Amino acid sequence: MKITIAEAKLPTSGALVVGVLKGGKLLATGKALDKASKGAISKAIKASRFEGDKGQWLDVLAPAGVGADRVLLGGLGDGKKVDQMAVENFGGTTWQRLGNCGLKSIAIVYDPIPGAKVELDMGAAAIAYGARLASYRFDKYRTTLKAKDKPSVTALSVLVEGPAAARKHFKALDAVAGGVFMTRDLVSEPANVLYPDSMAQQCKTLSKLDVKVEVLGEARMAKLGMGSLLGVGQGSPRESRMVVMSWQGAGAKAQPVAFVGKGVTFDTGGISLKPGPGMEMMKWDMGGAGTVVGLMKALAGRKAKVNAIGVVGLVENMPDGNAQRPGDIVTSMSGQTIEVLNTDAEGRLVLADVLWYTQKRFKPQFMVNLATLTGAMIIALGHENAGMFSNNDKLAQQLHDAGQDVGEGVWRMPLSTAYDKKLNCAIADMKNIGGRDAGSITAAQFLQRFVNKVPWAHLDIAGVAWADRGKPTVPKGGVGWGVRLLDRLVAKHYEDGK
Ligand code: BES
Ligand code: MN
Ligand code: ZN
């Protein structure tokens, strides 16, 4: 879909969208439309329960005296509470309501809102961004969709006074949306199409944006001593991969920030086989890696002034004659040995080596990893927040706040030696499970055993990587969770001059 930001000149056809404040209070364009239609707009408001509350919408079809074929009134509620997220969601919901309405174009007017918490330029850009995020579809395997099942709208414009500044904001936001879309695509792809090597090929496409991409195969990882990661992929005929992506947007000497992702392209559980029902969900067990790839695309796409490293460990966890067995002992790159008591606790085994490798090679300012690590995380926090575990209060606070900014919440969970002890083992340096209790925490403790002094946070995204129910800017399916949050973290605190 083509999205533009243009001067406030009303269209002569298509759908026209205007915001309305609490109490049914029309803004400048709404008033003009009401006048041109000889009161049809205010009459429509009176003939319904529409009061301009947030989340209320009212369709006015074919009002006489107005060029547009239909006018959609969107409630904004209290104007003083309108912030960036509110307008973004306004743009997203507009798309959801009108994207397939039969018309070809949508124009959303963004009139100044007195006392709003978002500036006019940023507000207009955020509306366009919200519509973009909402317009995502994963249709590539739908060969029999009829035209009426697909969006009719091919062009959307946001109309605002002095559009140049808004256009500039939107350009950066649109690059982030490009990253989010890539993550959604990766997460949605089935495991017969997306497996370690094909996902590595997807990473390679980032070189078009000047991201340096290195792909390491099993032989090189074996040389590095990554016995923990390699053990997980051992039961799959698909070779494991590790991909290192680097974006150099700051000076050559600037210390990088690093992002690490769990990329289990399918998790059967291995010999500790998962039950059948719902196993198809484990195609998105590469969600953490997917977010890291999308984030690198976003950062490079908007030319962020930062040196960023993204490293993903890509494996398929399958049971076959060569698969790792419960009780096997593997040696990780760190030298620590692990008794694999449950082959389904595989994400931590992958991350152990990738985290170690990343901190050793890049000595980053901080390291954030993302992983669909534990089902217990969903039990604890549901689908509203990701779990956050960190050894550093400042980083934890920054992540929390960035999440609030973009509507991707993280909730901090505890770490302590008492939990860590549950991983102690009689026959090796540790076991890979800590028992049923506090399952997400013991998983995080396991990861921490592979992190030295570097500020680090682990985001357990098991509950947020996939959505069974959509939100204004997030259609059902792969969410692309974390791209926006981490982009925001970088933009706020880690770009040159900050
Ligand atoms: N990928 C799963 C966790 C998961 C479950 C993510 C459901 C998203 C939805 C992970 O590899 C796993 O299997 N974890 C086990 C750990 C257990 C064996 C200690 C789990 O959560 O049951
Ligand atoms: Mn598993
Ligand atoms: Zn898994």
Is the pLDDT score of 118 beyond 90?
yes
Pocket lining: 345 vs ligand 1, CB cutoff 6 Å: yes
Q: At 249, is the secondary structure helix, strand, or coil?
A: coil
Identify which of 207, 208, 205, 200 has the alpha carbon closest to the alpha carbon of residue 238: 200
Per-residue HEC secondary structure of 355-375 comes to HHHHHHHHCCCCEEEEECCCH
Cα 269 to ligand 2 centre (Å): 5
Confidence of residue 496 (pLDDT cuts 50, 70, 90): confident
Identify which of 120, 103, 102 has the alpha carbon closest to the alpha carbon of residue 112: 120
Cα 227 to ligand 2 centre (Å): 17
Pocket lining: 341 vs ligand 1, CB cutoff 6 Å: no
Q: Tell me which of 274, 305, 412, 471 is the catalytic residue.
A: 274
Q: Tell me which of 184, 348, 449, 484 is the catalytic residue.
A: 348
Mean pLDDT of the 354-361 span: 99
Query: Ligand 1, atom 14: nearest CA belongs to which residue?
Result: 374
Which protein residues have their CB within 5 A of the ion that is ligand 3? 264, 267, 285, 347
Pocket lining: 460 vs ligand 1, CB cutoff 6 Å: no
Active-site annotation holds for 303: no
Is the pLDDT score of 497 beyond 80?
no
**356 burial via Cβ count (<10 Å: 0-12, 13-18, 19+):** buried
366-399: buried (b, 16+ CB within 10 Å) or exposed (e) per residue? bbbbbbbbbebbbebbebebbbbbbbeeebbebb
The per-residue pLDDT for range 468-492, each reduced to its tens digit, is 999 999 999 999 999 999 999 999 9
Is the pLDDT score of 190 beyond 80?
yes
* Ligand nearest, relative to CA of residue 386: 1
Mean pLDDT of the 454-460 span: 99
H helix or E strand, kind and range, residue 245: strand 241-248
Q: What is the pTM of this model?
A: 0.98
Is the pLDDT score of 29 beyond 90?
yes
Pocket lining: 267 vs ligand 1, CB cutoff 6 Å: yes
As a whole-number percent, the residues of the chain with pLDDT over 70 amount to 100
Structural contact between residues 481 and 410, judged by C-beta atoms closer than 8 angstroms: no
Is the pLDDT score of 40 beyond 70?
yes
* Ligand nearest, relative to CA of residue 378: 1
User: What's the mean pLDDT when you consider all of the chain?
Assistant: 98
Show the CA angle centred on residue 50, arms to residues 77 and 75, nearest 5°: 30
pLDDT in the model for residue 498: 60
Annotate 427-491 with DSSP letters as a single string.
Answer: SSSEES---STTHHHHHHHHHHTT--SS-EEEEE-TTTSEESS-BTTB-SEE--TTHHHHHHHII
Pocket lining: 285 vs ligand 1, CB cutoff 6 Å: yes
d(CA 315, CA 461): 18
The per-residue pLDDT for range 288-301, each reduced to its tens digit, is 999 999 999 999 99
Pocket lining: 376 vs ligand 1, CB cutoff 6 Å: yes
pLDDT in the model for residue 470: 95
* Ligand nearest, relative to CA of residue 279: 1
Q: Indicate the top mutation candidate among 266, 268, 286, 344 to test ligand 1's pocket, ranked by most ligand atoms within 8 A of CB.
A: 344
Rounded to 10°, the helix 287-301/163-188 angle is: 150
Pocket lining: 344 vs ligand 1, CB cutoff 6 Å: yes
Partners of 363 in beta bridges: none
d(CA 256, CA 410): 23
Active-site annotation holds for 274: yes
Q: Do β-strands 15-21 and 105-109 pair in parallel, antiparallel, or remain unpaired?
A: parallel
pLDDT in the model for residue 8: 86
